[in-house]
Chains A and B, each alone.
Chain A
């Protein structure tokens, strides 16, 4: 198990947005958008990321592609299984060592002297996306792409469709001149657009068509890994189905790996192999689609799943409706973050934060009572 190879893996990823105020812009707090989460995605699978608005799903997606810098933690890309095994061993050793004093100001961490720690440092430098220099990262972007939520603002209104889809090819110098046009035509056909509409502006297309343009742009470099950031939430239901089916077909055909971000459990169920449920910047439950949907363990997941509409008016179910709003991620509740809205709340929940633990078959849950 631990020898397994993952395409991309986030380890103890944190993303805080500092809150500044006052005359000297002093930092007085931080919005903990993503607070210490770890997960992995295997080559060719789809991982779903589900949660309420503001729980940090989109931030997670953006961080995976290094579109915003991490506060802490690492994202490893294409790390061989044996190296990973070694790294986990070394990490355990690192945790047992006394923590070095935290330095302020100086951003450069000196190379560690201990040979084991040096090895760990080297492994991290080699495989962690967030430690790569900008130029290497820029080249790696060929392999990882993103499809954005809002198809109306994700396309430059002053560029022709041909230039929008062809831009990645131009930027990376993969193809030139007429070859770009040919490739763009192929891509447009592939995503179900009329290749005759090559010389048009984005505003001449409908929402669904624009999202197809977005998908074509993401596909143009033959990426390995695509983050789908709520790709259908801005579209109406019939168009949603078309786009989702197209994404599925593309995955089967091109062997793509998806990180599918959505707040809509039905689409998650349709698209994903495994699901991570997020609440206030933390992963509360993680497992295969079957585990999470048929045997939800975390009270939050149970609540979410119980309110999915079922096309059977006779069926009587227990519905769990969550009361209250999501607490502010700038000032999260103590202990278990869900305790303010949880039905099974007990004293311990307010004091201790439950760790994400394996409850069998890789089904991870963060709750004291499961």
Chain B
């Protein structure tokens, strides 16, 4: 009961209103008094490292959070497996010119080199190119028209990652803009934006993508455009839901109470808290986007000749039960479909496992 025994501001109770007013300086006076106080505070050395100090200090807690995340992630075997696959894929994509150097005269590295005279050949076969006077090794065999499977598999990683990142980032940005505006402002804007989103969501994704590609030309860039069109509505939905939950939080009201403007509340308070579930969804979608691209190319909507796994697998589709003859020996050319297919499988699985792991560590209930 010590609270009650404590002596209370007697003089305040006794003082009439105007005296109390004198004791309380006006807000402006107080504010300027504080400014003075701050200005008079000893100036810190702003030379050399001292200047960077606040920057370093404000980065430190973020690094600390990142370390906690990594520590949590490392506890899950599958998530780590996913992370390793993802990192390997990224390394393959970055080191593609070293791992599978294109022929010196090759201008567009995204096109798989072909040696028409070679035809389909099993892994490990070689070919002497009389035009450029050099020997070509087909480490993973060759496909139709003597296309280099190994080259395609390696450079396909670059195609896929570039495509998936561009599509996910564009779709996420569009989704955030539409979803955040709809969820935050609500009312008629919300209604309008969500109905537009519904229209996009009502058409099956693959069909919509095919339609877009059919109108444009089947190039990698157009595949990206078609996939962004297919993907943004689901992000818009997700973000809208998040924003609507988060805007009811007390800290958003607190931001209003201190007089923050709407944009500031949206960008500083709502969106940073709304994007973590999207991070999970985006990671998982990198896999699905590659899968859809592969599917599109497989059914013939892919750009011809490009190092893209789906298109390459498509080449081998006709030979699944067939046989070819190479240097007098009969082979089932499994390698045409197996190696690109394997890459698709690993790539999608890697991102899905990582996404699952991220979902677990980003869940605040599990975090602490």
User: Which A residues fall within an 8 A CB radius of B?
Assistant: 4-5, 42-45, 62, 65, 67, 138-139, 141-143, 145-146, 148-150, 153-160, 162, 167-168, 171-172, 174-175, 178-179, 181-183, 186, 198-201, 203, 214, 217, 221-224, 240-241, 244-245, 248, 251-252, 254-257, 266-267, 269-270, 273, 311
Contact = CB atoms under 8 A, between A and B. Distances in A.
B253 A148 contact: yes
Interface residues of B, number: 51
Contacts of A240: 3
Given A5-B17, A145-B258, A67 B253 contact: yes
A228 B210 CA distance: 59
A244 B1 CA distance: 13
A67 B259 contact: no
B135 interface: no
Contacts of B1: 311
B12 A198 contact: no
A138 B259 contact: yes
B189 interface: no
A360 B70 CA distance: 68
Interface stretch (B56-64, B173-181, B338-346): B56-64
A131 B9 CA distance: 35
A148 B24 contact: no
A92 B194 CA distance: 50
28 contacts: A44-B21, A67-B253, A67-B256, A139-B259, A141-B257, A145-B257, A153-B250, A153-B251, A154-B250, A157-B251, A167-B268, A171-B259, A175-B35, A178-B54, A183-B34, A186-B34, A198-B57, A199-B58, A201-B61, A201-B65, A221-B27, A221-B31, A241-B2, A245-B3, A245-B6, A254-B30, A255-B23, A270-B6
A160 B257 contact: no
Interface residues of chain B: helix, strand, loop or mixed (majority): helix
Contacts of A182: 38, 41
B108 interface: no
Contacts of A179: 35, 38-39
B8 A154 contact: no
Given A222-B34, A273-B12, A156 B61 contact: no
B264 A171 contact: yes
A172 B261 CA distance: 10
Contact of A167 (B20, B23, B54, B258): B258
Interface of B: 1-4, 6, 8-9, 12-13, 15, 17, 20-21, 23-25, 27, 30-31, 34-35, 37-39, 41, 44, 54, 57-58, 60-61, 65, 249-251, 253-261, 264, 268-269, 272-273, 364, 368
Contacts of A214: 254
B52 to A, nearest CB: 13
A248 B9 contact: yes
Nearest to B276: A158
Contacts of A183: 34, 38
B8 A44 contact: no
Contact of B258 (A141, A224, A266): A141
A139 B257 CA distance: 11
Nearest to A68: B253
Please give me the 9 A-B residue pairs with the lowest Cβ-Cβ distance, nearest first.
Answer: A255-B24, A141-B259, A44-B20, A222-B30, A168-B258, A154-B250, A156-B251, A153-B250, A138-B259
B35 to A, nearest CB: 7
Contact of B3 (A167, A201, A267): A267
B259 A172 contact: yes
B257 A67 contact: yes
Given A199-B57, A252-B12, A171 B35 contact: no
Given A178-B44, A199-B58, A240-B3, A171 B261 contact: yes
Contacts of A311: 1
Contacts of A174: 31, 35
A244 B3 contact: yes
A98 B261 CA distance: 41
A273 B17 CA distance: 12
Contacts of B58: 160, 162, 199
Contact of A270 (B3, B61, B268): B3
Given A44-B17, A141-B258, A167-B258, 6 more contacts: A155-B251, A156-B255, A172-B259, A200-B61, A223-B27, A270-B8
B40 to A, nearest CB: 10
B198 to A, nearest CB: 19
A18 B361 CA distance: 40
Contacts of B34: 183, 186, 222
Contacts of A146: 254, 257
Nearest to A273: B13
A154 B251 contact: yes
Contacts of B2: 241
Contacts of B6: 245, 248, 270
B259 A255 contact: no
Contacts of B65: 201
Nearest to A271: B8
B257 A138 contact: no
A252 B259 CA distance: 26
A240 B4 CA distance: 12
